[in-house]
Amino acid sequence: METRVEKTIERHNKGYNCAQAVACTYCDLVGMDEETMFKATEALGLGMGGMEGTCGALTGACVVAGMKKSCGNLENPVSKGETYSYSRQILKKFLDQNKATRCKDLKGVETGVVLRSCQDCIRDAAKFLEEVVFAE
């Protein structure tokens, strides 16, 4: 697969939040239309609505991982372990790269030290999503 990392930045520059920028860039690869993915990930931006939670770019990547790996079987949901493994791998790569996963820590809200810009977080999450989920 040809990388789509810079496409995530194009979406962010158009006003998509960090989660939307990542998730919408890859939605066609997991069978979801962009408008639905946009709506589904809107509340995940800004660290889930206020910088307190996990980085939106990272949560957007995990949504795509779930869409790609879940069996979707409501009666026998047996794919959670594999899906969690993909999310864990993305999270670990992101944490190793950036030393934090919470939006407010990445933006230095309490420390005054910015660890990573939003656009760099988006690039990282997209890169790790490609490496973990779409490398096959």
For the entire predicted model, the pTM comes to 0.95
Q: What pLDDT, in 10s, does the model give residues 16-75?
A: 999 999 999 999 999 999 999 999 999 999 888 788 899 999 999 999 999 999 999 999
Each residue's pLDDT tens digit, 92-114: 999 999 999 999 999 999 999 99
pLDDT, residue 1, reads 81
The rounded distance, in Å, linking the Cα atoms of 79 and 98 is 29
pLDDT of residue 50: 81
Asked whether the beta carbons of 16 and 33 are under 8 A apart, the reply is no
